[in-house]
């Protein structure tokens, strides 16, 4: 499929280049900001996929995203720079050889402080929006989903939690945490509070902080992305210790 290069402004190009956290001959990785769709959003604005045209080579080829993040989730996202790398990473993703770690802010710490959520999910379309909900295992169309969580810091104002999705379902971490009564701060879709530590939580407080993946050259690579300033500010406001 031939795609027309996006018409990018100098500001677009400068922005996407500023998000690069790793680049080598095979892959390029970004710290995606919240509010930017990975691909194909309905909003008439550039997606990260569009912005990858800023890295197009003279032969017209450009990096291809290996996976996605929800529009409102920030953090590490990986793209392949060559067709062989895309094939290698696509197979590795299917084989679940990627390990993703997220950070989230919650209004209160989970009980127990760490655990595993093994709850199938079902996708539903409501109007023009897609939602996921926890269902019984024998529900037609149900997808197995497994998440792990661990509380890193907690105070009277909230908690900082590390999340590890063993499977990659849409909205998985958001729905799983809501299912145990701990929706993510700022997640209006799944019942999260729109304030945190007395301040506005104006967007989903979920950040893809670390990605470990097999590299086309061999071995594994670990990439980390700093949390955005608004996430850090809320964390500090709640008196939650900074993670080393």
Q: Which pLDDT score is estimated for 90?
A: 95
Q: Would you place residue 162 in the very low, low, confident or very high pLDDT band (cuts 50, 70, 90)? A: very high
Question: Is residue 7 among the annotated active site residues?
Answer: no
Distance of CA 197 to the CA centre of its chain: 23
Q: Which pLDDT score is estimated for 5?
A: 76
Q: What is the pTM of this model?
A: 0.93
> Tens of pLDDT along 100-122?
999 999 999 999 999 999 999 99
pLDDT-wise least confident of 3-7, 36-40, 167-171, 195-199: 3-7
Residue 143 clears pLDDT 70, i.e. is over it? yes
Residue 157 clears pLDDT 60, i.e. is over it? yes
Residue 3 clears pLDDT 70, i.e. is over it? no
Q: Which pLDDT score is estimated for 126?
A: 87
Mean pLDDT value across the chain? 93
Q: Would you place residue 44 in the very low, low, confident or very high pLDDT band (cuts 50, 70, 90)? A: low
Q: Which of 70, 118, 164, 187 is catalytic?
A: 70
> Tens of pLDDT along 185-197?
999 999 999 999 9
> Tens of pLDDT along 51-101?
999 999 888 899 999 999 999 999 999 999 999 999 999 999 999 999 999
Report the percent of the chain where pLDDT is more than 70.
Answer: 95
Q: Which pLDDT score is estimated for 41?
A: 59
Residue 1 clears pLDDT 90, i.e. is over it? no
């Amino acid at each position: 499929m031939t795609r027309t290069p996006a018409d990018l402004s100098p500001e677009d190009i400068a922005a996407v280049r500023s998000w690069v956290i790793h680049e080598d001959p095979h892959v390029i990785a970004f710290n995606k900001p919240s509010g930017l769709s990975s691909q194909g959003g309905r909003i008439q604005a550039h997606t990260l996929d569009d912005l990858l045209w800023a890295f197009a080579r003279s032969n017209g080829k450009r990096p291809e995203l290996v996976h996605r993040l929800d529009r409102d989730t920030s953090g590490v996202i990986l793209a392949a720079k060559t067709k062989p790398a895309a094939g290698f990473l696509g197979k590795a993703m299917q084989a679940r050889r990627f390990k993703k770690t997220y950070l989230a802010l919650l209004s209160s710490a989970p009980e127990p402080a760490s655990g595993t959520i093994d709850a199938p999910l079902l996708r539903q379309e409501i109007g023009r929006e897609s939602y996921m909900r926890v269902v019984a295992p024998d529900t037609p169309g149900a997808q197995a989903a497994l998440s792990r969580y661990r509380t890193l810091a907690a105070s009277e104002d909230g908690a900082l939690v590390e999340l590890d999705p063993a499977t990659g379902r849409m909205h998985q971490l958001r729905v799983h945490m809501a299912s145990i009564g701990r929706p993510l701060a700022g997640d209006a879709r799944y019942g999260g509070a729109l304030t945190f530590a007395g301040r506005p939580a104006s967007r989903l407080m979920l950040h893809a902080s670390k990605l470990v993946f097999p590299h086309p050259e061999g071995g594994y690579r670990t990439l980390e992305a700093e949390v955005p300033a608004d996430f850090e500010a809320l964390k500090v406001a709640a008196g939650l210790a900074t993670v080393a």
